[in-house]
A and B are shown apart, each in its own frame.
Chain A
Amino acid sequence: MVRVGLAIVLVTLLAAAAGPALSPFDPADQDLARRLEGPSLSHPLGLDELGRDILARLLVGARISLMVGIAVVGVSSTVGMLFGSIAGYFGGRVDDVISRVIDVLMAFPGILLAIALVAVLGPSLTNVVLALSVIGWVGYARLVRGQALRARELEFVQAARALGAGSRRIVFRHVLPTAFPAVMVQATLGMAGAIIAEASLSFLGLGVQPPTPSWGTMLDAGRSHLFDAPHLTIFPGLAIATLVLGFNFLGDGLRDRVDPKMAR
């Protein structure tokens, strides 16, 4: 499973990196005479409602999906690790405050909060990343807090204290590295979540703005042609599903390696 996941993710990464080189068409070139045309030899995935090549648009869209995923995971895991380790290592009142904030954010339906945030901030790629990170960091924080609570009692952490190490050194050198494998797993699974969330927001018109192609906006555009030209929605839908599945396989596989007790 890890290999299948890794293969899907790697192929997507390569395709996104190579991008337009893989398709002779420009994703913005319109051929209105051939709009909604189905897959053919020259256009393997067909043309969309403005006669643009769907394959070329999917390739550019992959960049958006991966970029958003990486940015959201990067921001939320960094913030989450910071607050989680502070809460777990120091405990007491600091922990109470951070934990209550986490509880409050966890009580919100995540995607609704993201929609509200983007609606207030205005639709753009940066704001999508921001909104998804605002709700995303709590998962990492909770995870790392638990790990830090456990690490605090470990003898090598006690040893560092006995040597006179300051809190910053202990947290960064001894506590956080202990939590890192678990964070890696969470981050991989978090990529899948972020990709779906970006697609959802774009589908609702709150994410990437046209004409920039994103898998979510492509789904949205295809919605009105669901019956006369289903290929408009099928291919972006498949792309999202496959990439998310790939990250999920990878994440589950990594978890089994990191925590052998979870493996069947």
Chain B
Amino acid sequence: MTPLLEVSRLTKEFTRKRGLFGEASTIRAVDEVSFAIVEGETFGLVGESGSGKTTTGRCILRLIEPTSGEVRFKGDNVLAFSRARLRQARREMQIVFQDPYSSLNPRMRVRAIVEEPLVIHKIGTRVERRARVAELFELVGLDPSHLSRYPHQFSGGQRQRIGLARALALNPSLVIADEPVSALDVSVQAQVINLLMDLQERLKLTYLFIAHDLRLVRHICSRVAVMYLGRIVETGPTEAIFAAPAHPYTRALLSAIPVPDPSVPRQRIVLDPDSFDRRAPLKELKAGHFAAV
């Protein structure tokens, strides 16, 4: 079966020039990243801040133009799309942002925010769009009578639901969730996560779930990829990786998960960056479980 999304050797380099005559320095934020996501699954992309996971997500949507590599969506190379074709493709690939405060335009009423994708793609009449907006609002568990409010009149969790309603307006098949709950309170996190999972089932969504919270990833992802300094250092079924992490970075990351029982003995592994070869290629350890060791 062809994967819904196939990313191969995706690379993004940022060039920065120091001063007027300084030499340009290049940073590889994303370094030959490859993975594939099949329809209906939740694929987790984990790593610390600066590991390149957000840049990877934005490159897939071409919000940032990648330097090289290939992104195939339903078999078509997204990076070769013309502007018009890309606009069409964006109906099927959507993104939910991390920050529920900056991701909604503070000067627009939430009705206009959720309606915007329909207006952009000229879908339906004004009346039909209004009805669809109300329907979306209900779908994400909000009260349609609040549609003429402004974003600041909602809580963080509610705003994240509004962002989700906007993303779902065009019936996408793939949703890139870029740390969708890390800015929220823990109790609200659970509600939003449950909503995401519920919607996945009802709307047959596929998620690329970008996160640094490993407990969350373990809870909702069927497969994960661990990124470190722009590279995927380990990838495979979630349970396999949590049961037997092979890469030193994965081990260090997993050891940092808080444990609720204080009497449980735990050892925090500190990563020694010199203890492994950063250029090592991914090797298959067990079926589907790869690590760069």
Q: Are B120 and A164 neighbours in the complex by a CB distance under 8 Å?
A: yes
Q: Are A163 and B166 neighbours in the complex by a CB distance under 8 Å?
A: yes
B201 to chain A, nearest CB (A): 24
Whether A154 sits at the interface, judged by CB under 8 Å, is yes
Whether B39 sits at the interface, judged by CB under 8 Å, is no
Interface size class of A (residues with CB under 8 A): 10 to 19
A168 to chain B, nearest CB (A): 11
Cα–Cα, bound, A174→B93 (Å): 21
Q: Are A164 and B91 neighbours in the complex by a CB distance under 8 Å?
A: yes
Given A160-B116, A163-B170, A174 contacting B105 (CB threshold 8 A): yes
- Chain B residues with CB below 8 A from A161, complex form: 63
Q: Are B103 and A159 neighbours in the complex by a CB distance under 8 Å?
A: yes
Q: Are B103 and A156 neighbours in the complex by a CB distance under 8 Å?
A: yes
Cα–Cα, bound, A156→B99 (Å): 10
Q: Digitize A148-181: 1 where CB-to-B-CB distance is under 8 Å, 0 elsewhere.
A: 0000001110111111111001000110011000
Overall SS of chain A's interface: helix
14 contacts between A and B (CB under 8 A): A156-B102, A158-B58, A159-B104, A160-B116, A162-B90, A162-B95, A163-B116, A163-B117, A163-B166, A164-B91, A164-B121, A166-B120, A177-B105, A178-B107
Cα–Cα, bound, A176→B40 (Å): 39
- Chain B residues with CB below 8 A from A169, complex form: 120
A-B contact count (CB 8 A): 56
A54 to chain B, nearest CB (A): 47
Cα–Cα, bound, A77→B165 (Å): 36
Which B residues lie at the A interface, using CB under 8 A?
58, 61, 63, 86-88, 90-91, 93-95, 97-99, 102-105, 107-108, 116-117, 120-121, 163, 166, 170
Q: Are B87 and A154 neighbours in the complex by a CB distance under 8 Å?
A: no
Q: Are A163 and B163 neighbours in the complex by a CB distance under 8 Å?
A: no
A161 to chain B, nearest CB (A): 6
- Chain A residues with CB below 8 A from B95, complex form: 158-159, 162
3 closest cross-chain pairs (CB), A and B: A155-B103, A164-B90, A164-B87
A90 to chain B, nearest CB (A): 14
- Chain A residue nearest to B121 (CB atoms) is A164
A239 to chain B, nearest CB (A): 38
Cα–Cα, bound, A135→B121 (Å): 40
Cα–Cα, bound, A169→B117 (Å): 12
A57 to chain B, nearest CB (A): 44
B205 to chain A, nearest CB (A): 16
